[in-house]
Amino acid sequence: MTSELETRYYAPLVVEVTSEDEGKQIRTVLERRLGVSRKLLSRLKLTEHGITLNGRRAYTSVPVRAGDRLELYMERETSEDILAEPQELEIVYEDDELLVVNKRAGVIVHPTHGHYTGTLANGVVHHWAARGERVRFRPVHRLDQETSGLVAIAKNPYIHQQLSEQLQRDEIDKRYCAYVYGVPEPSTATIDAPQERDPDDPHMRIVTPAGYRAVTHYETAAVYGRAADGSGAGEAALVRLRLETGRTHQIRVHLLHIGCPLIGDAMYRRAADRLRPWAAAAHAAAGRHALHAERLTLTHPGRRERMTFVAPLPRELRALERVLEHMPSEAGSHSI
């Protein structure tokens, strides 16, 4: 039986019943102690060894006593529709329940129509297969193709459910850095600007009062292109941002909205910015839009610990930063 359980199921979630739970039904204890969703409970009830009480299968309506041992077994799954493909992955953290990867720019997170290979999912599935792990690809959140940085991937349904709920409650702290045209005014602020699909182009988003709530907090970390004497508004800036909501293209849309679009963003830009004398060199250095998910803080559902992960600035954005730092001082007099 042990061999079957280890092969067929993930390591069980275990609850030791205390006197505080005496007389409560199993479903109540599991919801209170582990935060297990009703959807997952319903799924476990249909599984042969899904929920056990002291080693024997049990209904969720059964009352428990102090000293009882509850175990939840989730069946192992694989992403059979995702082709395993060898790929260089930068793994920041991994255990039996959670994987955090530093995604390269240019890589799509999940296969989509027309992009069935070369995605982060293809590489992660291959990584697990090579280790002999049967795991389904469950990203907790995603990044745009040209955005680099941290992506959290749950390795079982419970971890995915718990992290998704943290995301909805704004308990996952996602921090980004961005290099932008111009300098935000004020230097630190919150952008609270609803956004929705652009009716003229469904691939794009626009700020509109009729849109969904979108909130981004930012602070300006560095200003580039001021005159030699430090005067002038500056040509470009390094901005650090924290997302309160997670709308599609939210940072890119919000930065354009305040007049400071991402350097290198071919979709959300202002035509005049590309005429700046240093723009060509900056675009050549970055090779993509200058946005990086640099910091991710979450509560690990299995370990019950608050954890922070950091992804260093990638090579191409360091090259962009050097271009901006060595911008001719006379550029500081250029108005925007």
Of 68, 144, 265, 273, which residue is the catalytic one?
144
Residue 40's closest CA among 53, 29, 27, 52?
A: 27
23/64 Cα distance (integer angstroms):
5
28/52 Cα distance (integer angstroms):
15
The residue whose two tokens read 């979630």 is: 13
CA 148: distance to chain centroid? 11
176/188 Cα distance (integer angstroms):
14
Residues near 25 by Cβ (< 8 Å), separated by ≥ 6? 60, 61, 62, 63, 64
Residues near 4 by Cβ (< 8 Å), separated by ≥ 6? none
176/143 Cα distance (integer angstroms):
11
Structure tokens at 135: 């795991």
244/192 Cα distance (integer angstroms):
10
**20, burial (CB in 10 Å: exposed 0-12, middle 13-18, buried 19+):** exposed
Q: Give the phi and the psi of residue 332 in degrees, each rounded to 5.
A: -65, -15
Q: How many helices (H) and strands (E) does the chain have?
A: 8, 16
68 is catalytic: no
Question: What residues are annotated to the active site?
Answer: 144
